């Protein structure tokens, strides 16, 4: 029950502080296997103090909850506060817009930041929704849901950002705050801004009267609060799409949406669900529309990005240049984390380099990358298609060749134009904020039970 899970922050504070497990904490989401995990029945009374930044010496479970709630409120204020940035103009929310599922507010491939607000980044802004179920990065992922066989190695999986280089929201938040092309700030500037902010008093109440005496502690508290905010279920994982209503039997899919779902799942058609999982997990939790695997799909070079004017620059994902721990390890070059497709229809920019701006173009890329590569990659004067033009040739073995990428030039694409439109119609059912009571057509079409009986 993902939606019933305790917030990760709460779990990490509690688990770090005691050997006793908190029932409701998910080791998968927390990225740790606490040794006490199996003793969930044992009551938790006092949680040791030091894990909680600046909090009183010993805390009951209720006190930990209250502390997390305060941090969440502060995190929200920090998230919307442009005074933390070098320019004084850029907040987290400027790039992660709450009205766009915390994704980009516009159709730019990459957003502008830095002290003059003119510095381009080189990656598209991801949505911050549904990150609660991203596991910690691992090179070898063994999924207990994988056909009952835990020995299957799904390969590199998890971690935050497109290349999976950090595991926790708090470590992640440090990146945009200090990046010269994002918020362009410094630790000292952030802590001074918080002290001068209208919520400084709340900060003292939450983290102790003397929190501002120590810059390191103040900065850590900022990061922890942002992470707590990003765990707010109703804002970050509401499970409130038409597809969720369909799964719950409260709405029906129209013909295009239902056909799109079938094509999305069909191994011989889109085969999308092989990476963007569309079924409930074994424990009954709702589908996340990602298996969080890091995969190379050979996205074309986005020549509109200023950084790509340098022909020697390649964003190779997990093997660098942003990520450094797997540098020089060829098998990690060109791989990026599979994003959830929940709320994807609210975006106007797609893939890690933001090359496409229309969902139909994205689906067309999947089904025609190999059958009609000239549509996506540059063609030389002699008529040779420069396939995988953003990945040096020595890494081409990493590129995925499973369906729908299993065809040759001139073959029939896995989906025709009408089918592409239906897949896109289905993707539109993954947008949160759907209310069956306000949709007069919610009971027209196919319901979950009819779909199940048709399948049997
Ligand atoms: C200038 C635009 C910009 C600003 C401002 C910004 N971000 Fe981001 N954010 C991005 C981009 C681009 C990425 C992807 C980075 C990468 O893959 O290297 C990202 C990634 C993330 C992720 C990881 C998402 C995932 O799918 O794994 C989180 C979490 C996040 N940002 C939180 C924040 C927080 C918190 C702030 C404010 C402190 C913030 N961001 C400010 C552009 C921005
Ligand atoms: C082999 C695994 C795999 C399969 C199969 C797959 N995807 Fe993806 N998908 C990915 C990865 C990895 C990315 C990110 C790639 C990148 O940006 O470099 C992605 C990105 C996307 C995006 C962009 C999302 C965003 O936020 O930018 C969309 C849309 C998408 N996929 C839809 C589909 C559809 C529709 C299908 C079926 C036709 C499909 N995918 C099949 C792995 C897969």
pTM of the model: 0.91
Distance CA 241, CA 236 (A): 13
Please report whether residue 10 resides in a domain.
yes
Same domain? For 288 and 208 the reply is no
Please report whether residue 81 resides in a domain.
yes
Maximum pairwise Cα distance, the chain:
74
Distance CA 26, CA 31 (A): 8
Measure the CA angle with vertex 24, ends 22 and 27; round to 5°.
80
Give how many domains the chain has, as a whole number.
Answer: 3
- For residue 403, report the distance from its CA to the centre of ligand 1, in Å: 31
Ligand 2 atom nearest to 344, measured from its CA:
26
What are the tens digits of pLDDT across the range 244-292?
999 999 999 999 999 999 999 999 999 999 999 999 998 999 999 999 9
Ligand 2 within 6 A of CB of 404: yes
Domain end marker among 235, 261, 293: 235
Element (H, E) at 46: strand 46-48
Measure the CA angle with vertex 415, ends 269 and 347; round to 5°.
100
Supply the residue whose CA is at minimum distance from atom 37 of ligand 1.
92
- For residue 147, report the distance from its CA to the centre of ligand 2, in Å: 22
Distance CA 174, CA 226 (A): 10
For residue 155, which of 143, 145, 166 has the smallest C-alpha distance?
A: 143
Best probe residue, ligand 1, of 112, 161, 219, 231 (max atoms within 8 Å of C-beta):
161
Predicted local confidence at residue 9, as pLDDT: 52
Please report whether residue 285 resides in a domain.
yes
Distance CA 406, CA 413 (A): 10
Q: Which residues of 8-21 are buried (b: 16+ CB within 10 A; e: fewer)?
A: bbbbbbbbebbebb
DSSP type of residue 350:
B
Mean pLDDT of the region 138-161: 83
Domain end marker among 200, 235, 270: 235
Does the pLDDT of residue 57 top 90, yes or no?
no
Q: Which residues of 323-333 are buried (b: 16+ CB within 10 A; e: fewer)?
A: beebeeeebbb
Please report whether residue 250 resides in a domain.
yes
Same domain? For 314 and 441 the reply is yes
Supply the residue whose CA is at minimum distance from atom 42 of ligand 2.
338
Same domain? For 223 and 367 the reply is no
Same domain? For 98 and 217 the reply is yes
Same domain? For 221 and 304 the reply is no
Distance CA 122, CA 127 (A): 16
Supply the residue whose CA is at minimum distance from atom 19 of ligand 2.
338
User: Which neighbouring-strand residues pair with 379?
Assistant: 385
Predicted local confidence at residue 42, as pLDDT: 32
* Structure token pair of residue 295: 């995969």
What are the tens digits of pLDDT across the range 206-258?
999 999 999 999 999 999 999 999 999 999 999 999 999 999 999 999 999 99
Please report whether residue 157 resides in a domain.
yes
Please report whether residue 67 resides in a domain.
no
What are the tens digits of pLDDT across the range 150-175?
678 889 999 999 999 999 999 999 99
Give the total residue count for the chain.
456
- DSSP-based three-state secondary structure for 196: coil
Ligand 2 within 6 A of CB of 351: yes
- For residue 338, report the distance from its CA to the centre of ligand 2, in Å: 6
Predicted local confidence at residue 59, as pLDDT: 78
Same domain? For 312 and 261 the reply is yes
- For residue 295, report the distance from its CA to the centre of ligand 1, in Å: 20
Ligand 2 atom nearest to 126, measured from its CA:
26
Same domain? For 199 and 172 the reply is yes
Does the pLDDT of residue 195 top 60, yes or no?
yes
Same domain? For 93 and 56 the reply is no
Domain end marker among 235, 267, 284: 235
Q: Exposed, middle or buried: residue 281 (CB in 10 Å: 0-12, 13-18, 19+)? A: middle
Distance CA 303, CA 313 (A): 11
Please report whether residue 299 resides in a domain.
yes
φ/ψ (deg, to 5) at 110: -135, 150
Mean pLDDT of the region 385-395: 97
Same domain? For 315 and 294 the reply is yes
Distance CA 242, CA 252 (A): 8
Q: Which residues contact 456 (CB under 8 A, 6 or more apart)?
A: none
Please report whether residue 68 resides in a domain.
no
The residue written with tokens 């129209």 in the block is: 254
* Structure token pair of residue 88: 């004084």
Ligand 2 within 6 A of CB of 55: no
Q: Which domain holds residue 92?
A: 73-235
Same domain? For 326 and 224 the reply is no
Ligand 2 within 6 A of CB of 270: yes
Q: How far is CA 230 from CA 102, 207, 233, 332, in A?
A: 10, 19, 8, 28
What's the CATH code of the domain at 208? 1.10.760.10
Ligand 2 atom nearest to 366, measured from its CA:
38
Same domain? For 265 and 378 the reply is yes
Best probe residue, ligand 2, of 288, 351, 356, 413 (max atoms within 8 Å of C-beta):
351
Ligand in nearest proximity to the CA of 164? 1
Cα four-point dihedral sign 355, 292, 340, 272: positive
- For residue 87, report the distance from its CA to the centre of ligand 1, in Å: 17
Supply the residue whose CA is at minimum distance from atom 33 of ligand 2.
272
Mean pLDDT of the region 397-420: 97
Element (H, E) at 165: none
Same domain? For 291 and 412 the reply is yes
Q: Which residues of 174-208 are buried (b: 16+ CB within 10 A; e: fewer)?
A: bebbbbebbbbbebebbbbbbeebebeeebeebbb
Lowest mean pLDDT across 138-152, 282-296, 332-346: 138-152
């Amino acid at each position: 029950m993902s939606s019933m899970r305790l917030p990760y922050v709460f779990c990490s504070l509690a688990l770090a502080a005691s050997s006793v497990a908190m029932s409701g904490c998910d080791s998968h989401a927390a990225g740790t296997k606490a040794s006490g995990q199996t003793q969930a029945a044992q009551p938790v009374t006092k949680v040791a103090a030091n894990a909680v930044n600046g909090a009183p010496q010993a805390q009951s479970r209720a006190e930990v909850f209250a502390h997390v709630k305060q941090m969440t409120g502060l995190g929200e204020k920090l998230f919307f506060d442009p005074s933390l940035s070098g320019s004084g103009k850029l907040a987290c929310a400027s790039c992660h817009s709450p009205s766009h599922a915390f994704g980009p507010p516009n159709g730019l491939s990459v957003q502008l930041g830095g002290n003059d607000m003119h510095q381009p980044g080189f990656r598209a802004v991801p949505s911050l929704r549904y990150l609660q179920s991203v596991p910690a990065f691992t090179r070898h992922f063994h999924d207990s849901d994988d056909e009952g066989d835990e020995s299957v190695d799904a390969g590199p999986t998890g971690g935050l950002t497109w290349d999976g280089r950090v595991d926790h929201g708090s470590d992640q938040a440090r990146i945009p705050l200090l990046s010269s092309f994002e918020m362009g700030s410094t630790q000292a500037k952030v802590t001074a801004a918080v002290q001068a902010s209208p919520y400084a008093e709340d900060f003292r109440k939450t983290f102790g009267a003397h929190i501002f005496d120590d810059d390191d502690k103040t900065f850590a508290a900022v990061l922890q609060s942002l992470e707590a905010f990003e765990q707010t279920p109703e804002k970050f994982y509401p499970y409130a799409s038409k597809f969720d209503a369909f799964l719950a039997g409260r709405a029906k899919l129209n013909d295009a949406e239902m056909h799109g779902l079938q094509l999305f799942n069909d191994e011989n058609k889109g085969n999308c669900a092989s990476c963007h999982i569309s079924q409930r997990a074994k424990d009954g939790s709702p589908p996340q529309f990602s298996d969080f695997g890091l995969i190379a799909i050979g996205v074309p070079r986005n020549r509109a990005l200023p950084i790509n004017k340098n022909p020697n620059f390649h964003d190779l994902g997990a093997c660098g240049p942003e990520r450094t721990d797997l540098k020089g390890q060829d098998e990690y070059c060109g791989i990026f984390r599979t994003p959830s497709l929940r709320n994807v229809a609210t975006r106007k920019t797609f893939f890690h380099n933001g090359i496409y701006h229309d969902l139909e173009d994205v689906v067309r890329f999947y089904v025609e990358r190999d059958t009609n590569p000239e549509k996506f990659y540059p063609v030389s004067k002699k008529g040779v298609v420069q396939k995988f033009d953003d990945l040096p040739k020595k890494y081409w073995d990493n590129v995925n060749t499973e369906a729908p990428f299993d065809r040759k030039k001139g073959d029939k694409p896995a989906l025709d134009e009408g089918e592409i439109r239906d897949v896109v119609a289905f993707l539109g059912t993954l947008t949160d904020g759907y209310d069956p009571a306000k949709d007069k057509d919610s009971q027209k079409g196919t319901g979950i039970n009819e779909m199940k009986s048709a399948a049997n």
